[in-house]
Structure 1
Amino acid sequence: MPAAPRIGYAPRGGGAHIGYAVFGEGPPLISWVGGTVTASSVFDEPRLARFMREAGTFCTRILIDRRGMGYSDPLPPGAVPTLEDQVGDLLAVMDQLDLDNPAVSGNAWDSQAVLQMAVTHPDRVSRLVLTSTTPFPGVAPGWEGGVRVEVIEQLAKEYDRPGQGLGPARILDVLAPSLADDDALEEWMAAAGRVSPATARAYTEMAFASDVRAVLPEITAPTLILHSTRDRWTPLAGARFMAAEIPGARLVEYDSDNHLLFCDHVDEKLAETEAFIRGDQPVHAQRRLLTVLFTDVVGSTERLSATPDLKWTALLDEVDSTVSRQVQRHNGRVCKSMGDGHLAVFERPSDAVAAALGIGRSLRLLGVEIRAGAHIGEIELRGDDIAGIAVHVGARVSGKAGAGEILVTRTVADLLAGSPYRCEPAGEFELKGLQGSWALVRVS
């Protein structure tokens, strides 16, 4: 690291400021410091300091203190921060540093806000690095990605110690079992992670109330997930769930029971992160101008509840077959089947529209109506999958379509000039997570 961290403050409403530290050189990577540890203490722990110094050789690292911690202003008495507050704080620091769309990292229980921002502000996130985390740390029936009950009980005991703030030293056996007898690490954690019980409880309540599992399929940023196989703080099941739900996400598992990143496999983790941040991985290398087409069955929930399982499965098989046949007929490729929905790409907008019309006609004979949406833009090719803002736009356009309707963006409509298709304005729409209003066009 060529110089000591530079400390800065980003203004927020009500006169509050969010503190942050900046160090290193290279593409920016921004994140919360992690847990209740603060930016001022990061370089006081030798293993963590080495981890951060090495990261600073390939990226500009921005570490943010959460409100009520470190360089940031306190939380108002009794306040429980929301995901929206956290997203706003991240954006405030990015704006203060003139960062349009840096890589963003989320660790442990800090990731829910990062994942939410990737959906609501996709244009502000170039890449996601998710470490030792879960989309929902809480407990729910059938959910194995949350914090174990015994860990929750241990946290509760920490909160209830009279007259003391929360220090994570007493749960080192959960965070870093291989170093549980390291007195120096325990002392550092007790000092570095010391916050008031009220602040610790507020952030824990926010984390356990924040469930972002449902929005994961909407994430378009390239995503790298690093996780220990026997992590007791955030179980591996949560990471595997994210890898399955986030389009094109890559999960790297490490044979370890340590939750803390800097305890083991350090060189491997740094190498993975550097290759990903710098874009060295071939899977992320190719970008092309393509048309994306989203289709899905209208009223599928109601139809499912009224249709026997075997019949519903047979119907979905017929939908899959019809979509594949029409897409191939019109020189496209199906990238993903999502139950009753599909994502396909085409070289030409006219081929995408022809395929959508063909799918609609064929399925209508089976009593099935679809909606469809299309957009053209630069697409990132990631193996057999695709990513990028254009994909996000296409999904949002499809969501605005009604039964039997094909909506396209104005860009697509302009490129259909001279084709046999009829285009008529459908109106101006706000598309979730995208700035401004979008003129959509109905095609038939």
Structure 2
Amino acid sequence: MAPQPMEVRVARDDDGVVRVAAPGTGRDFTLAVLDVAGAVLSWPVLGEPVPPSAEIHDVARAQQWLWAVHGERVAATVQACATGRPGEPTEARVPVVPTALAADAARLGLGHWAARWWPASYLDGIPALQPDLLGLELAALTHQCQQLFDGSGEGVADFGASGGFDDLGDFGDFDDQPDSRAAELIEDHLTALDPLIQWWRASAESSTGTARQLESVLRLIDDAADCAGLDGPELRRLRALLDRPGPATAPSEPGALFARSGGYALAAGEPLVTGGRLIARGAGTNDWRRYPPGLVDASETAVSWTTRALGARRQFEVDVVAHGTAPATGAPLAAEVRVNDGPRKRVALARRDDVWTGRTDLDLPPGETRPRVELGVLLPGFDPGPGPDTGTEREAIRALVRRRLAAAARPVPYDTAPDDGSRAPFLAEIAADTDEDY
């Protein structure tokens, strides 16, 4: 069955930015975002797949991918809106038919979303994704989507008189495309390449979708490394095996190949404070937007507090369950506490085994037994500030990743998936599905 078109709205803002608005919106942690040539693309991760929305700040640069992602009619309408010539519209609704590049771009955007927002939680039983394995697949997808970025040298169309577009020329390197750097991703995550090769060789004789996906990722990594002039023993081994695969190796669970060092012993260590009279305890808010990934367990129950009476003092204690990969030192994580509608106060947190902990003295009225406490965890300098409650959306994200992990037990490669393939499991999800630590 041919893909069904969807309609998008194309309009120019007063500041000259042209927006292509597709159905679906959401908060920041429910959106996959991708910085591309001249624009930012975004997709909602919840709900059915839709074309990307685009915020285009440089229409000339964006034309190199617009026609291949949204279609020629959208590309022509964007050009007309940008030029604002007499008699041409500055707003229109245009149908979009899904394309192969749109599906690949959506998958790349979803991969970057997973690297930022995946709600890894020991408490909720959601395994973390192995960052080096995800990074290598992102490198492969970035190379596959090189038409989205400046400097690719491929796929740049000159519609000329037929479409009214100017010659795009050679735009060189731009700093507004942090998602374009396949070579850097390969170098940053090279330690996972040998285990990835082992996984491929162990599944080489299998007809499963995972085997085809592994080979596709490795060949894209090899081509991206070759285009970037990268070299090294791991890349040379990869190239030799792709040319002459040789016999398959003994099978091994991918979770063991990419095993994390060390275990995760929940709530280890001595209590932060001993003695004193318990006044009250409760739970805080775990807002994922207020700190980077890899610091805090994503569960709603990860943030808790206790108030104790130590003589005349009233001491407030904070416990935050750490992410399994959280650094032991060097992260100036903090808690923000507000009691009885008073001023907000920052409490520095320190890593103690598997918990971030902190404490501070509070002024409470004599006999106070039920203080009203607001508590959140944040990273100063990264924190956008407290926002509205997002518990419903966070629960929807947890449900999504549980469905994705269930699908990872029976994966199909993205080129043969039942929809456009953009939401088929990543290799890191397949490996996480076999992680016995969770």
Q: TM-score, normalised on structure 1?
A: 0.27
Larger proportion of strand:
1
Q: TM-score, normalised on structure 2?
A: 0.27
Q: Which has the higher contact order (CA 8 A, sep 6+)?
A: 2
Larger proportion of helix:
1
